[in-house]
Structure 1
Amino acid sequence: MHSAHSAPRCGAKSKRSGARCNAPAVRGKRVCRMHGALAGAPRGDAHGRFKHGLYTCEKLASERAIAELLLVSRRGLQDLDHQPPGESH
């Protein structure tokens, strides 16, 4: 029982009094089970609620890469438009 008393304590604070919760924190977390240490869904295939691929990590990464390419190409076109006539790169 001594190990339960010496466990790290929950760091959640009350909105009203400002006092800390002081319940034992879940192992590896900074808060207790009442304040969200066990919250959250698993990532990836373990989640099991895939409806479409609209927000997969791979798709979002490819969209960021495409947006970066578009930005670079737009800047290149602007540079070409602002050159004096007869001058080339």
Structure 2
Amino acid sequence: MRQSPRCGAKTRKGTRCQAPALSGKTRCRMHGGATGSGAPRGNQNALKHGLYTKEALAQRKHVRDLLRKGKELIEKM
């Protein structure tokens, strides 16, 4: 048991977790090595508001560029 590889997770203290990693995994059962841990496939919770979609980011960048160009134009006048 003492020779088994240890979990690679970082604790709040900043040190590595001392629990043994599950066989064939790099994490212990408490840090995501257990079967079924983590978010389900196709998790739709991340798409709740659409604030960070590619389209929304591109639109905000376009608006920033337009505002910057408008300010430069006003300064030239």
SS at match of 1:80: helix
TM-score by length of 1: 0.53
Where does the alignment leave 5 or more consecutive residues of structure 1 unmatched?
85-89
State the 1:12 CA deviation: 4.7
Q: Give the one of 54, 66, 72 matched to 2:48.
A: 54
Residues matched between the structures, number: 73
Say yes or no: does 1:8 pair with 2:1.
no
Q: Partners in 2 of 1:13 and 1:75 — Cα distance? A: 43
- Check the 8 A contact 2:21/2:33 in 1, yes or no: no
Q: Which has the higher contact order (CA 8 A, sep 6+)?
A: 2
Could you say which residue in structure 2 is the equivalent of 1:36?
32
Which portions of structure 1, spanning 4 or more consecutive aligned residues, are displaced by more than 6 angstroms?
Answer: 13-16
Could you say which residue in structure 2 is the equivalent of 1:21?
18
The structure with more helix, counted as a fraction of residues: 1
